[in-house]
Amino acid sequence: MKKLKIKQTTWNLKPLFRSDNDPQIKKKRKIVEKESYKFINKWKNRDDYLKSPKTLKQALDEYEKWMHQYGTMGDEESYFYLRYYQEQNNSKLKAGLGIVQNLSNKISNDIQFFMLRIARIPSKEQGKFLEHKDLKDYRHLLEKIFNESKYLLSEKEEKILNLKTGPAYMNWVNMTEGILSKETRKVLDEDSKRKIKNFSEILSLTNNKKKKVRNEAAMALNDIFYKNGDIVEAEMNSIMADKKINDELRGFARPDSSMHLDDDINSKIADNLVAASVERFDVSKRYYRLKAKLFKVKKLQYHERNVEYGGATKKYPYEKMVNMVFNVFSKTDQEFTDIFQKFIENAQIDVYPRKGKSGGGFCFHHLISQPTYILLNYTGKLKDVFDLAHEAGHGINNEFMKKRNNALNFGGPLFTAEVSSKLMEAILFEEILKEKDDELRLAAMMMKLNDQIIHVFMTAAENRFESEMHYAFRDKGYLSKEEIGQLHKKYAIKYMGNYVEQTPGSENWWMHVSHLRVFFYNYQYSSGILIAETLKSYLKKDPKFIKQIKEFLSIGSAESPDDIFKKLGMNIKTKSFWNKGIDEIEDLLNETEKLAKKLGKI
């Protein structure tokens, strides 16, 4: 079997620019501005494209060409975004990113008239545009625009809302993130020596294998949250007030309605997804009971709930694991393999953690004309192997969308974004389960379950918590940090049960959750996992089902999620569909309990 060789473990950004000082940066910037305002000036004083389908086709084709090659700031925005995540403490990169984002915001404001005016095509006229053969490639785009039209304000008002986003929302969020990131404490580290650690390092230490290390880290976090609680309280109330104003101006019926609109789904789909998960909280409670038994404790402390079980000493070298993922993909589909091989050979993955590099991982795409780039922080843990498959899944999804779609249908809603990544994890997991080492299998099964518990059951609880928090705020006008904390604790208990102790101070751990600032960005992980589990089960029964999966990966935003999954025989509007995915999780839990008993662990 073919073996990949790793020549470079940092990004090759030369397809964008050769260096931070590449003279092409300013030259391309001028081209982007020229092409942007060429389109703006051509169409801003016209209304014929709002009356004639053929003229609208011409305008959309020109807009698509602009989005394909340039967007608001083209290669420059992508380059400095990626470089910033490689060196977050580099002031020159921050300045470069700041310049390009300011220009990008200006162009965005100046070009927004185009879609806003299309949205205002009278409803009695919309049918002739939707049914016109010349506009078939833009049909669903137009459906979405027309559906969003009832929530849009005038062009001047939309511009004001865009301009106020900074002072009314982003400045608050950035302030809290900045304050927490600067907090340091002297705590025990992995070597059991007391060292000064920053907030993200302390947070990471709560999952350390050594109980003293994680306990001391949790105490430090509690102290940080207690110290900054009043600031976070003011921030959360301010951004909830900003959201309330926006929702009322736009006429959204619920706090989560805008997210459902962005996700291109009916609220009933999200409601049934969350309800199905909430009704199966017995699964998450059973998982924590199993984990407590494996750790030989009556109850896990709150900060211990995600501590990795097993696999503490074994390391998974990157090159070996790249080839494992490569071989797993090759058994599934040749196109998956080819795309993954290009990611490796073209140095599109930044692999190892470094000082100043962003933590976590992501798969980046901006323009359809640009390469996909993946960021990892690979340390050789079993989890890192799954992170590699996860981000490669996003990347494979991107490449399939590029083949089929125009630039306006490239990408997709958050609701479908996590399906490909979770499916690739599931495919890798099936291969690991073939290992003869029972200890490794048990560790992998527990790790897989932990991810599923977090992203299905915890997110359902957080969705209910977040919803109740917004409704309570709108009723009372202001919520204290204690009130928010008690709501958070209420829903934590619901999905954790009696095998996780709500340790004093844990009610404040909502303070660092970035998803709460995005507003209702939680159920999408659940949909990703549950749909991926269903697709995996179909694929196991019939390997030829890979054709339908590739079709799904190619669609992007050319169709709604509801229509996409109907083609795959899935009715995502019903709780019974979501329960099929949860059944897969429960089956894995049953198998994990059996293996733990076989090994004498419980």
Split at pLDDT 50, 70, 90, the class of 314 is confident
Q: Which long-range contacts (CB under 8 A, 24 or more apart) does 353-356 make?
A: 353/377, 353/378, 353/379, 354/86, 356/86, 356/87, 356/88, 356/89, 356/90
**What's the pLDDT score for residue 334?**
95
Instruction: Name the residue with tokens 């101070």.
Output: 505
Question: What pLDDT sits at residue 311?
Answer: 62
Q: What pLDDT does residue 3 have?
A: 87
Let me know if the fold of 24-152 is the same as that of 318-442+523-575: no
Domain 318-442+523-575 bears CATH identifier 1.10.1370.40: yes
What is the tens place of the pLDDT at every residue in 286-308? 999 999 999 999 999 999 999 98
Pairing relation of β-strands 349-350 and 373-375?
Answer: parallel
Superfamily for domain range 24-152: Oligopeptidase f, N-terminal domain (1.20.140.70)
- For the chain, give percent helix, strand, coil, nearest 5: 70, 5, 25
Question: Quick check: 101 pLDDT over 60?
Answer: yes
Is the confidence at residue 2, as pLDDT, over 90?
no
d(CA 39, CA 111): 8
Give the mean model confidence (pLDDT) for residues 51-65. 98
Predicted confidence at residue 13, as pLDDT, reads: 98
In this prediction, residue 201 carries a pLDDT of 87
pLDDT for 1 beyond 80: no
Answer yes or no: is pLDDT of 312 > 60: no
First to last CA, the chain: 40
Whether residue 500 contacts residue 291, with contact meaning beta carbons closer than 8 Å, is answered with no
C-alpha separations of 586 from 299, 530, 596 in Å: 21, 12, 15
**88/394: higher pLDDT:** 394
Give dist(CA 422, CA 433) in Å, integer: 16
Q: Which residues make Cβ contacts (< 8 Å) with residue 509, sequence separation at least 6? A: 221, 225, 302, 488
Q: Stretch 407-412: mean pLDDT, rounded?
A: 93
Which 3 state secondary structure label does DSSP give 433? coil
Confidence of residue 313 (pLDDT cuts 50, 70, 90): low
Q: Which two tokens stand for residue 189?
A: 């580290």
Half-sphere exposure for 121 (CA within 13 Å, toward CB): 25
Do the beta carbons of residue 113 and residue 155 sit within 8 Å? yes
51-59 mean pLDDT: 97
Indicate the pLDDT class of residue 129, thresholds 50, 70 and 90.
very high
Average the pLDDT over each of 92-101, 139-148, 280-289 and give the range with the smallest value: 92-101
The answer on pLDDT for 333 being more than 80 is: yes
CB 420 within 8 A of CB 446: no
Given this model, what pLDDT does residue 89 score?
Answer: 82
Domain positions in the chain are 24-152, 155-251, 318-442+523-575
- Mean pLDDT of all residues in 83-97: 90
